Amino acid sequence: MHRFLIGLVLCACSVMHTAWAHMPEDSALLMPRPFQNWKTLETDHFRINYRDRHLPFAQRMAAVAEKVYAKQTPRLQWEPESKTEVVIIDSYDGSNGGATVLPFNRFFIFMNAPVEGELLDNSPWIEQVFTHEFVHILHLDQSAGGQTTLRNIFGRFFFAFPQIFSPAWVSEGIAVYEETDADKQFGRGQSAFYDAMMRAEYQKGFRSFSQLSYQGYWGTDWPSGQVYLYGYYFYEFLSAQYGEEKAFEYLRNWNSNIIPWRMQSRAYQVFGLNAEALWQQYQAYLENKFEQQMARLPVVDYEPVVEGGRVNANPVWMADGRFYYYREDGRHHPSLQVIDADGNDSKVTDVLEYQHIDVHP
């Protein structure tokens, strides 16, 4: 319990790979209150920390945890040295999670299951989110050669974890790829929603290697979470073009990397191509895949109601022709907007992150 409480205090100070969209703006919602009545349920490889009233949820998670461990550790060829800390949080009604390897391996999961959007498929929520977050741990915790030596001498300090310098599309892509099981129809990678978003990208023109590598997690235009979308299809491409083992070799290639962000050597050492050339092959793969999909779909004539923004969601129409919606463009504060019957768009008020709304005349 002492180690767990230290982790709660350090949570805000360490590198955090948040794995799912729409985190709350008030970061205090992510922080468990350390003086509440916390319990710990231990399995062979995890310590699941929960408030006493959430024991049934923790037990269901424990049943999933070791199954995920047995599946994912051989696939990523990595086993953490100690048990991974897992924190169950009920302070926010979002469907989300986040993982970090500093100062030790841990991740949190919000209890709330998704009710809409890209996470809403028929996957068991606990298994899907647990897989995604634990894959982050298995990826970001890896090291080899000189980096492992540094870690053995100096401990778990920032520069002894070469994988945390991966672009977001690399780390999120492998997590979405591993959460996806096409045979069971689990995960975002097999969803119609992901295909639809990438078809929209096909129509606009696919993003370049530099755009994805330097934009960060969210960007400023739709679709939100492009690093998840492009990252998943990148690993699908590698597996289809070169075989899945080569895809994992590409991931492991940074384990002994001392100089951060060397994407060119990462691609060249595994595939004999520089990063841009590999990305061009990836774009050609996407072009072929989604050109075929588009050819099978009917041509639909439509007119956009709202232009721009990375999230325009949850519209509510009124009898007089007005409608309200949530808007987030990555540049300004999220807001509640209204469009009148003449098409004039104006802000009603700022809001705190993603909101479900209802309107009463």
Which tens digit of pLDDT belongs to each residue from 36-64?
789 999 999 999 999 988 999 999 999 99
State which amino acid sits at residue 63.
A
CATH class of 152-300: mainly alpha
- Give Cα 327 distance to the centre of its chain: 21
In angstroms, rounded to a whole number, what is the distance separating the alpha carbons of residues 163 and 267?
A: 15
pLDDT for position 348: 92
- β-strand pairing of 46-51 with 84-89: parallel
| Nearest C-alpha neighbor of 108 from the set 171, 164, 61, 55 | 61
**Per-residue pLDDT band at 118 (split at 50, 70, 90):** low
In eight-state DSSP terms, residue 186 is B
Measured from the Cβ of residue 258, the count of other Cβ atoms closer than 10 Å reads 12
pTM for the model stands at 0.84
pLDDT for position 92: 65
Place of tokens 């994992």: 248
Q: What residue spans of the chain are helical by DSSP H?
A: 2-10, 55-76, 125-140, 145-154, 168-179, 192-204, 209-214, 226-242, 244-252, 263-271, 275-296
Mean predicted confidence (pLDDT) in 194-222: 86
Element (H, E) at 313: strand 311-317
**Contact status, residue 266 vs residue 250, Cβ threshold 8 Å:** yes
pLDDT for position 20: 41
Per-residue pLDDT of 214-247, as tens digits, reads 876 667 778 878 999 999 999 999 999 999 999 9
- 34 preceded by cis ω (within 30°)? no
In angstroms, rounded to a whole number, what is the distance separating the alpha carbons of residues 332 and 345?
A: 16
Mean predicted confidence (pLDDT) in 291-307: 86
Q: Phi-psi region for residue 18, left (φ > 0), alpha (ψ -120 to 50) or beta?
A: beta
In angstroms, rounded to a whole number, what is the distance separating the alpha carbons of residues 355 and 348?
A: 14
End-to-end CA distance of the chain: 52
Mean pLDDT (the chain) is: 84
Domain boundaries, the chain: 1-126+134-141, 152-300, 311-350
Question: Does the pLDDT value for residue 269 go beyond 50?
Answer: yes
Question: Does the pLDDT value for residue 202 go beyond 90?
Answer: yes
- 9 or 337: which leads in pLDDT: 337
